[in-house]
């Protein structure tokens, strides 16, 4: 088997390293914090980000990028989306066209509104590595404990997608392929916005009816925007659409939902981020989603109201009232038109 490196020793990077090590791959797990990396090698446990999951002996943690990338065919990028561009700049001189890069972060760059695969391509254009994205409803806490999970691999190159499918596939980790990278990446990023919104509703004290409304209408917003930017709307009926929404909006493993709950209870955003203690991708995704909606003139009321709560200190209950009392409309405009109501 070819060696693998995972760049990013947070919860998700660690869980994927464990998964691949159990399959027999020799894995280098790269992290920036020397003390945490040394602790990880000594204790065989990522006590900071994935406690309770022991690391197989086939995993070696390192802070040395050159060591991590040397002679590795498969390079997994598992850093927060806001750090992806800088990481690509750092590895540019250490990779080659024979390597396959698999991005696992879920986000959109707020300044450029680029998806992560676009950022990677832009920074590594002269290196020409093959690029894939891995996404879907997959909490690190569960993957690390071998709880059955299904995800999707996207790539412009079918052979690359199928090769990565084989790399990750296991009895506890089922992998599908999909050529629609736009849909996969948009669904992965924007579901975090809806998770923040459902968390806020939970924090206010609303119930399952509210959550169901936010999830289903949130999916409509994501699909509406996705279609405008070139995604296949069928993708959003899959793992990186409705699947990701279900798991992120309903589970306490979701840091986006947990952050939303605290906001709904009245905590300011800066306090919330400190309490969560890890990156809450939904915050930057909300800003990016709001900007994309404005750019493409797409109606995204849930995203807009979440943006107002996060960045303009809008009262969450007032935001809910505005969502409920917007102009009346059909649930599916196309159906109503076709039926000639």
Share the mean pLDDT of the chain: 94
pLDDT of 2 = 75
DSSP string, 72-134: -SEEEE-S-HHHHHHHHHHHGGG--TT-EEEE----B-TTT--BHHHHHHHHTTTT--EEEEE
* pLDDT value of residue 199: 96
**pLDDT score recorded for residue 331:** 84
Q: Give the confidence band of 125 by pLDDT, cuts at 50, 70, 90.
A: confident
- Residue 156 bears catalytic tag: no
Instruction: Give the per-residue pLDDT at 47.
Output: 94
pLDDT at 341: 59
- In the predicted model, is pLDDT for residue 339 greater than 70? no
Is the pLDDT at 204 greater than 90? The verdict is: yes
The H or E element spanning position 327 is none
Q: Where in the chain is the domain with CATH 1.10.1040.10?
A: 182-331
Exposed/middle/buried for 32, CB within 10 Å: 0-12, 13-18, 19+?
A: middle
CA 104 to chain centre: 7
- Please give the CATH topology (third level) of the domain spanning 182-331: 1.10.1040
CB neighbour class for 277 (10 Å; exposed up to 12, middle 13-18, buried from 19): exposed
At residue 278, φ and ψ (nearest 5 deg) are -135, 170
Please name which of 205, 189, 217 lies closest in space to residue 302, comparing C-alpha atoms.
Answer: 217
Mapping DSSP to helix (H, G, I), strand (E, B) and coil, where does residue 155 land? strand
pLDDT at 335 over 90: no
- 337 confidence band (pLDDT: 50, 70, 90): low
Look-up of token digits 């920036």: 32
In this prediction, residue 129 carries a pLDDT of 82
Q: Where in the chain is the domain with CATH 3.40.50.720?
A: 4-179
Q: What is the pLDDT of residues 126-136, one digit of tens each?
A: 877 899 999 99
219-245 as b/e: b if 16+ CB within 10 A: bbbbbbbbbeeebbeebbebbbbbbbb
Q: Is the Cβ–Cβ distance between 258 and 252 less than 8 Å?
A: yes
pLDDT at 104: 97
Rounded percentage of the chain residues whose pLDDT exceeds 90: 91
118 phi/psi in degrees, rounded to 5: -70, -40
CA distance 118 to 109: 10
- What are 214-270's pLDDT values in tens digits? 999 999 999 999 999 999 999 999 999 999 999 999 999 999 999 999 999 999 999
List 72, 114, 191, 211, catalytic entry: 191
pLDDT in tens, 289-300: 999 999 999 999
pTM of the model: 0.94
- Would you give the distance in Å from CA 33 to the centre of its chain? 22
Per-residue pLDDT reduced to its tens digit, 19-66? 999 999 999 999 999 999 999 999 999 999 999 999 999 999 999 999
Q: Which CATH class, in words, describes the domain spanning 4-179?
A: alpha beta
pLDDT value for 214:
96
* Residue 276 reports pLDDT greater than 80: yes
In the sheet where 173-178 sits, what is the strand order?
59-62, 27-30, 4-7, 74-77, 100-103, 130-135, 149-155, 173-178
Percent of the chain with pLDDT over 70: 97
Q: What is the mean pLDDT of residues 313-321?
A: 94
């Amino acid at each position: 088997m070819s060696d693998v490196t995972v760049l990013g020793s947070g919860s998700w990077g660690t869980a994927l390293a464990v998964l691949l090590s159990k399959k027999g791959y020799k894995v280098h797990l790269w992290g920036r914090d020397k003390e945490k990396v040394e602790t990880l090698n000594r204790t065989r446990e990522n006590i900071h980000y994935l406690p309770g999951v022991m690391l197989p002996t086939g995993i070696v943690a390192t802070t040395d990028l050159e060591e991590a990338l040397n002679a590795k065919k498969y390079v997994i990028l598992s850093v927060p989306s806001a750090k992806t561009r800088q990481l690509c700049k750092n590895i540019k001189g250490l990779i080659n066209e024979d390597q396959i890069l698999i991005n696992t972060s879920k986000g959109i760059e707020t300044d450029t509104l680029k998806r992560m695969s676009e950022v990677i391509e832009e920074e590594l254009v002269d290196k020409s590595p093959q690029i894939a994205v891995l996404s879907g409803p997959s909490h690190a806490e569960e993957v690390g404990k071998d709880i059955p999970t299904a995800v999707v691999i996207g790539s412009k190159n079918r052979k690359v997608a199928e090769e990565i499918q084989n790399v990750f596939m296991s009895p506890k980790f089922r992998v599908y392929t999909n050529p629609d990278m736009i849909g996969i990446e948009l669904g992965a990023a924007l579901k975090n916005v809806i998770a923040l919104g459902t968390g806020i509703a939970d924090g206010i004290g609303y119930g399952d009816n509210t959550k169901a409304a936010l999830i289903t209408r949130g999916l409509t917003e994501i699909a509406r925007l996705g279609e405008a930017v070139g995604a296949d709307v069928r993708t959003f009926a899959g793992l990186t659409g409705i699947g990701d929404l279900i798991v992120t909006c309903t589970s306490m493993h979701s840091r986006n939902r947990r952050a939303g709950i605290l906001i709904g209870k009245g905590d300011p955003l800066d306090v919330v981020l400190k309490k969560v203690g890890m990156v809450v991708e939904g915050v930057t995704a909300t800003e990016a989603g709001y900007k994309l909606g404005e750019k493409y003139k797409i109606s995204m009321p849930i995203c807009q109201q979440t943006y107002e709560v996060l960045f303009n200190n809008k009262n969450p209950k007032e935001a809910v009232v505005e969502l409920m009392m917007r102009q009346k409309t059909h649930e599916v405009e196309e159906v109503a038109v076709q039926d000639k109501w």
